[in-house]
Amino acid sequence: QVFDGHGGRDAAVFTQKNILKFIVEDTEFTNCLDKAIRNAFVKADQALASTCALDTSSGTTALTAFISG
pTM of the model: 0.81
The pLDDT tens digits of the residues spanning 5-61 come to: 777 788 888 899 999 999 999 999 999 999 999 999 999 989 888 876 666 677 888
Mind giving me the DSSP string for 31-59? T-HHHHHHHHHHHHHHHHHH-TTS-TT-E
40 or 68, which is more confident?
40
pLDDT of residue 56: 66
pLDDT of residue 58: 79
Q: Give the up-direction half-sphere exposure of residue 26: CA atoms within 13 A in the CB hemisphere.
A: 23
Domain ranges of the chain: 2-63
